[in-house]
Each structure stands twice: as C-alpha cells, then as structure tokens.
Amino acid sequence: MRRVTIYDSMSRSARVFAPLEPPRVGLFVCGLTPYDEAHIGHARTFVFFDVVARAMTRWGYRVFSVQNVTNLDDKIIDRAAETGEDPLALAEGYFLSWRAASERLGIHSVNYFPHATDYIGEILRQTELLIERGHAYASAGSVYYNLSKFPAYGALSGQRTEALRPGARVEVDPAKRAPEDFVIWKAATPGEPSWDSPWGPGRPGWHIEDTAITLRLFGPRYDLHGGGLDLIFPHHESEIALAEATTGESPLVNYWMHGGLLNMGGEKMSKSLGNVYSLTTALDEFGPMVLRFFYLNAYYRSPLEFVRDKSLEEAREAYDRLALPANRIAEIVERDGPDRAGTELPEALAADADALVERLDATLAEDFNTRESIALLFGWTRRLAELLGELASFSGDALATLRAPYDWGTETLGLFVREPTGRAGAWEKVVPIALAARARARARGDFAEADRIRDELAAAGIRLEDHASGTRWEFREPS
C-alpha cells in the first residue's frame, strides 16, 4: 500500500493516512438530496471522491465506498406538494436521474447508495438510546438532541454554540429547549410520509440518517468521511455529536475530507440562487471527459470558478490536446490489435514512461493533487508531440509503453476514456461516403464543392480536418 497523505479538516493539517483495518478503507460521502436535477456543482464533489476511491484501489487499499441518499426531507416534500407526486417517488426519480448522469460521468466506484428511509429501524433504535442516555429529549412529538450534554460540539467547524445566530436562515423551532438543539426525529404533519414511533408518527431528521447508515455499515468508527465544504456545519458536526454520544467511542471519523464548492458569478452554484447549470446539459454539450478534466484541473479544496460559455470550452481545448496522443495510439491499436509488429522504443523513452508513472502516483498520493498530475501528463503529451507522425511505426508493446501514463490517467482520474460508439456506429459508415465525394472534388480542383460539403457536415455537427494521410472527422457541435 502506497503512503498517502490526506488533508484532514478536523485537525486542519495534512496527515499520513492509516486505515483502521488495513487494507480495508471505509469511505462515506454525503450524497444528494434528490429534489431536483443535479447541477455541475454537485458533480464536482462526487467526481473527486471517485478519484479518491480509484486511486486508493490502485494503491492496494480495498475501498468500500458509500454514498447516502437523503430521499426524504423538507425540500422534497415541498416539491412533491407542488407537483402532486408522492415525495418518495419524486425523490427516487431524481435519484435515478443522478445515477444515470454519474454513470455517464464515469463514477463507477460507489459500492452502495443507501436510502435514508431504508434505515428507519436503525434511526429509531439510535434515537431511543440517545434519550436513555440523556443526550436527547422528546418534545411535542419530535425528538431533539440536547447539545448541552455534548461539550465537544464544534470541534470540526470551530463554531461555538454561544456565538451562533439562531434563526439566521432557518426559523427557530419553539419546541426546542435551546435554539442550538437540532431535530433528530420530526413529528409528522398530515399528508407527508411518516413512520410510527414511541413519540407518535414522524420522520427522521437529516443528521441522524447518516449516522444510522454508517453505524450499521461501518460500525462506531471509520476511516474517511467526505462531502462538500458547505456541509461541515451543522451537518457533519451533528453527525459527530449523534454517533459519539450513541456509541461512546471517538473519533467517529479518522479523516474528514471536504471539497471546495463550484462558484458561478463569484457565488456558490445553487438552486436557491438560481445560478445553476444542469449536469445533463453539460454532459450533452461537452461529454464526460471534458467535465472531469475541468473539475480535476484544480485542487479539490479550492473554490473553482465556472464561467458560462468559457470554462468548459477552455477545458475542451485543453483536454483534446492532452488526450491527442492517447487517442492516436488507441486508434492504431484498435485497428491492428495489441500485438502489431513494428519498431521498439528507444530505451531512454521507455524508462521515462516508467519513471513518469511513478511520479504520477507519488504526486497524486499527496492529498490527491489532481492538478499537478495533469500538469505532468501535459509534459508527456508535449514529449510525444514530435512522435505523433511516426506512431504507426511502433510495435504494440512500444505503443503500450507510450500509453502507460495515459492508462494511469484512466485508472485514477477516469480520463482518456474514449466515447462509446453506440449511435456513432452508423456515422462511422455514412460520413466516409461524404468524405469520398469531397476527396474527388478536391482531386479535380473543385474546391467550391469540397468546401460546400465540409460546411454542410459542419452544420450537422461533423467537423473535418485534412491531413497528409487523409481526412479526419469528429463530432463537434457548430459554435
């Protein structure tokens, strides 16, 4: 297992990672509240934790990755009331939509997506235990966490409860003993989904959903907890209070990892601000590779600025150039197979490829520095630039060596995955017909006709490039 350092939000420092039970690693990431379509801000966080899981797996850890689904909360209920749908059905619809988008994005590392409502039994058990131990109290059909009994509250966020501004954004619930107490079990209002409990019909509060899930799946302590920076307070802080009061064990989480937010117009991208860009739209327009590249081209903890009509266009230019040698090699190998004959690599070049892969691992192992890894990969693309014309002369083995750094990028960053053919299959046959007609026109010097064909193809989303070896084409929406 490779030595990995992780910036831990709790200690506010980079620490060498040591799993509780090597090589096993428990990773819990706070997932979505599916009350609407996901936007590209959400996906930043999940792509990053996908890289964490991919990289750790490569380095010999056995990662069990869990992403919860808050499939019932106020926003979902409100939304369902608007549309007349059943709240749980509405949530499941948006969850499945998110699953589809995240699959397209290449997020395949999540082992399990537990839904909060599948853990009601665990939640009730934990709530009762907390009341028994004096850490929670029932009031008006709800159950609240008694913060005065948990002095360690605030360690993660640095917040002191006496300095908070109760009601700054959310109204204070009069049933609470103290305004900083948070709800564990919420009394049902008529018409919303509810479960029977010793305190009457109700539904779980947000924070306990996660601790119920992790206590059951990971036990009282586990390795990694991730999520967006905006969840530190109160959500993660409250998870600690709930779990540690329930189990008596500490710390709940060994390493807290928080991803920076995606900003648009200098502000957090969020539904309530209205500055959202849908994930599905982004995937349709730019494809998964460009999006992943855009996210991973920055350190995960820093805020990242998304500029409409600029950021992803820029990322596409950069990614296309970065991936060019990888794609050319893939084309040759797809055509001739991995055992194709050809010249071998100069020894120095082969050694450099090996050394680069080691450097890439070492770089990424320092708190998942994806940006620096990409910079190194650009170095390799520059190195291969002069070989682009003669790639076809190399043997299959030689090409595999040249491709190794890109394969590393596929394994860890999820980049350099070529678009699946699918519908593109038909185009593969049709476009060459038009290209042949254009080639004949060019051969007889009828450039007006040649340009007409090129323009019409461009308007249809097929872009051409003429090369000495022939005409290359690709899908590219006209700009």
Question: Segment 425-444, which members bind RNA (CB under 7 A)?
Answer: 442
The DSSP symbol for 468 reads T
Choosing from 451, 455, 456, 477, the residue that interacts with RNA (CB under 7 A) is 451
Q: Specify whether the CB–CB gap between 207 and 233 falls below 8 A.
A: no
Cα→Cα distances 9→219, 261, 471, Å: 21, 15, 52
Residues 359-418 within binding reach of RNA (CB under 7 A): 369, 371-372, 374-375, 378-379, 381-382, 385-386, 388
Choosing from 151, 248, 266, 337, the residue that interacts with RNA (CB under 7 A) is 266
Part in contact with RNA (CB under 7 A); list of ranges 243-251, 330-338, 406-414, 450-458: 450-458
The DSSP symbol for 195 reads B
How far is Cα 466 from Cα 127, in angstroms, rounded to an integer? 68
The two tokens of residue 311 are 């950021």
Q: At its nearest, how many Å lie between RNA and the CB of residue 353?
A: 17
The CA-based dihedral angle spanning residues 80, 30, 286, 471, taken in that order and rounded to the nearest 10 degrees: -140
Q: At its nearest, how many Å lie between RNA and the CB of residue 412?
A: 16
Q: What's the gap between Cα 70 and its chain centre?
A: 17
The two tokens of residue 47 are 């792509």
Which CB, 349 or 397, lies closer to RNA?
Answer: 349
Question: The tokens 């307070």 sit on which residue?
Answer: 233
Choosing from 11, 148, 281, 302, the residue that interacts with RNA (CB under 7 A) is 302
What residues contact residue 358 under an 8 Å CB cut-off, 6+ apart?
none
Which CB, 362 or 397, lies closer to RNA?
Answer: 362
Residues binding RNA: number (CB under 7 A): 98
Which CB, 27 or 262, lies closer to RNA?
Answer: 262
Cα→Cα distances 270→166, 167, 266, 301, Å: 23, 21, 12, 18
Residues 177-196 within binding reach of RNA (CB under 7 A): 180-183, 186
Which CB, 19 or 205, lies closer to RNA?
Answer: 205
Residues 95-154 within binding reach of RNA (CB under 7 A): 147
The binding track of 279-298 with respect to RNA, each residue x by CB under 7 A or -, is ------------------xx
Residues 315-344 within binding reach of RNA (CB under 7 A): 317-318, 320-321, 324
Strand bridging mode 304-306 / 262-264? parallel
Helix (H) or strand (E) holding 430: helix 424-443
Alpha helices in 85-158 (DSSP H): 87-104, 120-132
Question: The tokens 């908070």 sit on which residue?
Answer: 164
Q: At its nearest, how many Å lie between RNA and the CB of residue 125?
A: 19
- Decide: helix, strand or coil at residue 112: strand
Choosing from 52, 212, 269, 290, the residue that interacts with RNA (CB under 7 A) is 269
What residues contact residue 249 under an 8 Å CB cut-off, 6+ apart?
220, 221
Which CB, 221 or 328, lies closer to RNA?
Answer: 328
Q: At its nearest, how many Å lie between RNA and the CB of residue 328?
A: 10
Q: At its nearest, how many Å lie between RNA and the CB of residue 341?
A: 25
Q: Round to the nearest angstrom and report the end-to-end CA distance of the chain.
A: 47
Residues 24-83 within binding reach of RNA (CB under 7 A): 30-33, 41-42, 44-45, 70, 73-75
Which CB, 341 or 443, lies closer to RNA?
Answer: 443
Strand bridging mode 24-29 / 222-228? parallel
Q: Specify whether the CB–CB gap between 34 and 99 falls below 8 A.
A: no
How far is Cα 160 from Cα 151, in angstroms, rounded to an integer? 10
How far is Cα 173 from Cα 302, in angstroms, rounded to an integer? 35
How far is Cα 81 from Cα 70, in angstroms, rounded to an integer? 18
Which CB, 254 or 297, lies closer to RNA?
Answer: 297
234 interacts with RNA by CB under 7 A:
yes
Question: Which residue type does 357 have?
Answer: V
Which CB, 75 or 340, lies closer to RNA?
Answer: 75
Which CB, 423 or 444, lies closer to RNA?
Answer: 444
Largest CA distance in the chain: 90
The two tokens of residue 263 are 């900003």
Which CB, 164 or 400, lies closer to RNA?
Answer: 164
Choosing from 80, 124, 232, 457, the residue that interacts with RNA (CB under 7 A) is 232
Residues 211-230 within binding reach of RNA (CB under 7 A): 227-230
274 interacts with RNA by CB under 7 A:
no
Choosing from 22, 121, 303, 470, the residue that interacts with RNA (CB under 7 A) is 303
Which CB, 169 or 429, lies closer to RNA?
Answer: 169
Which CB, 1 or 387, lies closer to RNA?
Answer: 387
Q: At its nearest, how many Å lie between RNA and the CB of residue 302?
A: 4
The two tokens of residue 333 are 């190998």
What residues contact residue 447 under an 8 Å CB cut-off, 6+ apart?
441
15 interacts with RNA by CB under 7 A:
no
**Crossing angle of helices 279-296/311-336, nearest 10°?**
80
Q: At its nearest, how many Å lie between RNA and the CB of residue 141?
A: 12
Choosing from 123, 217, 231, 291, the residue that interacts with RNA (CB under 7 A) is 231
Q: At its nearest, how many Å lie between RNA and the CB of residue 19?
A: 23
